[in-house]
Copies of this chain bind each other. A is one copy, B any other.
Amino acid sequence: MYQYEFPHPAITTDIVLFTIRDKQLKLLLVRRGSEPFKGTWALPGGFMQIDEDLESSARRELAEETGIEGVYLEQLYTFGAVDRDPRERVVTVAYYALAASDQMVLRAATDAEAVDWFDMDTLPELAFDHRQIVAMAHKRLVAKLDYSTIAFQFMPQEFTLSELQDVYEIILREELDRRNFRKWILALEQIEETGREKRQGAHRPAKLYRVIDPGRVEIIK
C-alpha cells in the first residue's frame, strides 16, 4: 500500500499507432481483457510506473501489448477530464506513433487479448475517450504531412517515388500530380537514390530511394 497526504491521480500513457497497409491508413487497437470496457477495442497503453519517464512508459506499454518496438513516437496531448475513467482519476498522456508496416511483427495475441489493425474510416466503438484521442492524432498527422518529413516514417528502408506518393495521397485523401510531387520531394534533399531498382509487373522498373537521415523528422515549412 502506498499512502499520500492528498489524493493523487493515476497516470497512463496511450499510443495511437498508425501505419499504411493495403493502400489504407490503419490504426492499431487492442481488445480490453478486463473491466472497465472489457471486450471493447482501445488504444494500447496503460499505467506509468513510478520510476520510468513518460516516453519510456509509452514504449513499454506498446511493446508489452503488441510486441512492437522502435517506432517513431511523439507526444500528442494530455487528456485529464475528471470522469474519463470510471475507476479512479486517471490522466493520460497520449502519444502518436508511425511505422512502416513491414517493420512490425505483431506479437501473437497473449492471454485473451487480441491486437489488430483497423481502417481509419471503419473504426469500432472505442473505450474511454479514445475516439477523441484518435481524432486529434489523425488531425495532427494530416497537418504534419504538409510541413514536415513525417511521411518518411511510414516507408520501408527502400521505396519508390510512386510508393511515397501513395502514402501522401492516402493520408491527404487527394490525388497529386506526379511530376510536381517528384520535383517537390526531391527538392527537399531528404531522400537519395540507392542505385537499385524495383522490377514489378509488366512495365518500366522504378528507381529505389532511401531516406538520408531516417531517424530525423524535419520541419520543412
Q: Which residues of A39-81 have CB atoms within 8 Å of chain B's CB atoms?
A: 47-48, 50-54, 75, 77-78, 80-81
State in angstroms the CA–CA spacing of A9 and B92 once bound together. 12
Of B5, B51, B91, the residue contacting A82 (CB under 8 A) is B51
Which residues, 1 to 21 on A, are CB-close (under 8 Å) to B? 1-11
State A80–B93 Cα separation when bound (angstroms).
Answer: 10
Q: State the Cβ distance, A56 to closest chain B Cβ, in Å.
A: 9
Q: Does A144 contact B (CB under 8 A)?
A: no
- A91 neighbours in B (Cβ, 8 Å): 11, 48, 54, 91, 93
What is the bound-complex CA distance between A50 and B93, given in angstroms?
17
A210 at the interface (CB under 8 A from B): no
Complex CA distance for A6 and B9, rounded to whole angstroms: 11
How many chain copies does the complex carry? Answer: 2
CA distance A48 to B81 in the complex (A): 12
A7 CB contact (under 8 Å) in B5, B50, B75, B80: B50
Chain B residues within 8 Å of A77, by CB: 75
- Measured between beta carbons, the chain B residues less than 8 angstroms from A9 are 8, 11, 48, 50
Residues of B within 8 A of A51 (CB): 82, 89
Chain B residues, Cβ within 8 Å of A11: 8-9, 11, 80, 91
List of B residues within 8 angstroms of A78 by Cβ:
54, 75, 78, 93
7 A-B residue pairs with Cβ-Cβ distance under 8 Å, sorted by A, are A7-B50, A8-B8, A8-B11, A11-B80, A48-B91, A50-B89, A54-B80
Beyond known contacts A4-B8, A6-B50: 14 more, CB 8 A cutoff: A1-B4, A2-B4, A4-B10, A6-B47, A8-B8, A8-B11, A8-B50, A11-B11, A11-B91, A48-B91, A53-B81, A75-B78, A91-B91, A91-B93
Chain A positions near chain B (C-beta within 8 angstroms): 1-11, 47-48, 50-54, 75, 77-78, 80-82, 89, 91, 93
